[in-house]
Amino acid sequence: MRRARTILVIPIVLLAAWIAALVAANRFYTPPALEHTEVAGRSSDAPLPAEGFRITTWNVGYAGMGEEADFIMDGGEQARPENASLVEKNAAGIAGYLTGNPADIFLFQETAAPSSNNFRYDLNAKLKATLSGYQHTFAADAETRLVPPPLDVHVGNMIFSKYAVTGAELRALPQEPTYVYGLFRKSYAMQVMRLSDAAGRRWVIVNLHLSAFDSDEHHVREKQLMAVMDFAKSEYERGAHVIVGGDWNLRLAPVEFAHKTPEPFLFWIRDLPSDATPQGWRWALDTSRPTVRTAHQPYVKGENATLIIDGFLCSPNVEFDAVSTANLGFQYTDHHPVAMNARSRQE
């Protein structure tokens, strides 16, 4: 009898230890202030062209946020798509767009290694295969630790460069005090890639995905924005050409697009503070088209609210043109890609 009890106690103790380790690893994880990240893949050994380059930013929604999707955090019902076929459809559409609309640098938000919220589809691998002639770096910002498949989550951001990368790093941003599913916090950070051009000028490219569901009480988005601006200004003052792009989760342009979304589902929308843009810095936006839709329901043109929260901020020594937002009807993700041409500007 005593032996039987001992045999029964051992797995209970091991399970309790694993649960304690899981909670500690997830709830008490704090991202380092600065972390140098690995750059993988093969690209040209050449520096950026001195005459300029093309850059695109796109939140690809882990291939799970196509036109048929709603999302629970936005007031919808779904925590993931209805089936794996929708994920595959979205991933194929994303890849098709990238193939037909090449750029020298891509900034992606909400890419994913196999995760429970996209039926374990490896979107990162799909992007790498589609952009096989690029160097790339990935950083998870929504990630579970010690959680076994198929329940684990590994969603984050990626930068792809067609030209030689001289360095890459993560710089932590202010964090949200709340937890996702009560288990883990998102690890908000600036994803930084450093390059040089053929004229020897230094370029600093920053990929962002700021907080979306912070409370009015904590104003995490605004605190993150201040940290981003401080870093960008410091790099410019050191002589770099700086482009900050991504999903800002702030309305970047006061453009109104017709919609029928009830006010309660607009709760997450906040405007870019009027005093946030450093003097001499300029926004590269296409104000003719929205970049994001509300996800309280599947997308219906004219019903879902749409606005501009994706784009680029450029330092005074950066010139840009041909800024364009693709009109994809939110088929494959709840964001539209934004692209521009960039080059050095004579100050």
The three-class DSSP label of residue 38 is coil
Same domain, 22 and 108: no
Judgement on whether residues 312 and 255 belong to the same structural domain of the protein: yes
36: exposed, middle or buried (Cβ count in 10 Å: 0-12, 13-18, 19+): exposed
Instruction: Judge if 19 and 63 occupy the same domain.
Output: no
Task: Give the integer Cα–Cα distance in Å for 303 and 347.
Answer: 44
Separation CA 74–CA 342 (nearest Å): 34
Number of domains in the chain: 2
The pLDDT confidence band at residue 16, using thresholds 50, 70 and 90, is: low
pTM: 0.94
Q: Are residues 23 and 63 in the same domain?
A: no
The answer to whether the beta carbons of residues 216 and 254 sit under 8 Å apart is no
Verify that 19 and 39 share a domain, yes or no. Answer: no
- What domain range includes position 309? 32-344
The whole-number pLDDT of residue 218 equals 80
What does the pLDDT look like over 92-123, one tens digit per residue? 999 999 999 999 999 999 999 999 999 999 99
Which of 186, 234, 177, 231 is closest to 207 using CA atoms? Answer: 231
- Mean per-residue pLDDT, 173-189: 82
* Residue-level pLDDT at 21: 66
The pLDDT, as a whole number, for residue 87 is: 98
Looking at the fold, whether 22 and 171 belong to one and the same domain comes out as: no
- Are both 13 and 60 inside the same structural domain? no
Question: In CATH, what number is assigned to the domain containing residue 326?
Answer: 3.60.10.10
Shared domain check, 108 and 230: yes
What Cα–Cα distance (Å) separates residue 98 from each residue in 87, 93, 127, 153, 287?
17, 9, 9, 25, 22
Sign of the torsion formed by the C-alpha atoms of 323, 292, 172 and 113:
negative
Is the same domain home to 335 and 294?
A: yes
In tens, the pLDDT along 193-246 reads 999 999 999 999 999 999 999 987 789 999 999 999 999 999 999 999 999 999
> Do 40 and 21 belong together in one domain?
no
Same domain, 146 and 235: yes
- Identity of the amino acid at 36: H
CA distance 104 to 231: 24
Average pLDDT value for the chain: 93
Residues 15 and 152 in one domain: no
Distances (CA, A) of 230 to 19, 209, 222, 239, 276: 40, 17, 12, 15, 10
Strand stretches in the chain, DSSP E? 34-36, 40-41, 53-59, 105-112, 135-143, 154-161, 167-172, 189-196, 202-209, 241-247, 282-284, 292-293, 306-307, 310-314, 318-325, 338-344
What's the confidence (pLDDT) of residue 71? 97
